[in-house]
């Protein structure tokens, strides 16, 4: 979706929702850095990217022995829903005995181009998704997932030691 904002006192982008006086005229301002003549004209677009979150949950024992954490659950953090300002929504996790896990995430993205000082200027923003990893006997681990997520080890503090 491409939206053009013709005259705006204030604009806010909140998770791909544009708050402003909007005309659905579409159009492009041209490449970033190119000259423009429509001073103040803004073109915005937004979307979402699917990401597979892959990793391994581990614990480190007293003798520095590394062990997998089994039966890890994942919860999407949803802001503004309880006394702590968030609520947890469980997501389906595929996991192995070796502590490896995988689950889906959706990352919101927005980009805008505007004409300022006769030049096309651009701004891109992605909103990472936050998850809580949980396992019996372990302290919850918070994980922030961006669209550039790479598989990684998540070390959890657990009661069971070697």
pLDDT tens-place string over residues 11-47: 334 444 443 333 334 467 778 888 888 888 888 888 8
Question: What does the pLDDT look like over 54-90, one tens digit per residue?
Answer: 999 999 888 888 999 988 999 999 876 556 678 899 9
**In this structure, what token pair is assigned to residue 67?**
């062990």
What pLDDT does 31 receive? 82
Residue 162 in domain: no
Task: Give the DSSP letter string of 98-110.
Answer: TSEEEEEEEEEEE
d(CA 59, CA 63): 11
What pLDDT does 88 receive? 92
Residue 160 in domain: no
- Paired with 17 in beta bridges are 14
Residue 92 in domain: yes
What pLDDT does 5 receive? 34
Residue 161 in domain: no
The contacts found for 19-26 with CB under 8 angstroms, 24 or more apart, are: 26/2
Q: Which residue matches tokens 């402003």?
A: 20
Question: What does the pLDDT look like over 98-157, one tens digit per residue?
Answer: 899 999 999 988 888 888 888 888 888 888 899 999 999 999 999 999 988 999 999 999
Residue 63 in domain: yes
What pLDDT does 110 receive? 85
Residue 86 in domain: yes
- Paired with 12 in beta bridges are 19
The residues, any chain, with a CB within 8 Å of residue 36's CB and separated by 6 or more, are 29, 30, 115, 118, 119, 120
Backbone angles phi, psi at 99, to 5 degrees: 90, 0
What domain count does the chain have? 1
Residue 47 in domain: yes
Residue 18 in domain: yes
Beta strands of the chain (E only): which ranges? 2-5, 12-14, 17-19, 42-60, 66-68, 73-79, 86-91, 94-95, 100-116, 119-127, 129-134, 141-145, 152-155
Q: Which residue matches tokens 């505007």?
A: 114
């Amino acid at each position: 979706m491409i939206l053009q904002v013709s005259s705006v006192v204030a604009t806010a982008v909140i998770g791909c929702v544009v708050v402003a006086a909007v005309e659905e005229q579409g159009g492009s301002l041209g490449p970033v850095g190119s000259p423009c003549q429509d001073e103040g004209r803004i073109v915005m677009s937004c979307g979402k990217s699917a990401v597979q979150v892959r990793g391994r949950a581990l614990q480190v024992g007293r003798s520095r022995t590394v062990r997998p954490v089994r039966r890890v659950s994942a919860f999407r953090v949803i802001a503004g829903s309880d006394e702590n300002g968030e609520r947890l929504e469980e997501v389906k996790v595929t996991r192995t005995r070796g502590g490896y896990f995988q689950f889906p995430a959706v990352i919101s993205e927005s980009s805008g181009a505007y004409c300022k000082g006769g030049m096309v200027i651009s701004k891109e923003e992605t909103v990472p998704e936050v998850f809580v990893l949980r396992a019996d006997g372990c302290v919850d681990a918070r994980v922030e997932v961006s669209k550039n997520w790479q598989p990684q080890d998540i070390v959890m503090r657990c009661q069971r030691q070697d």
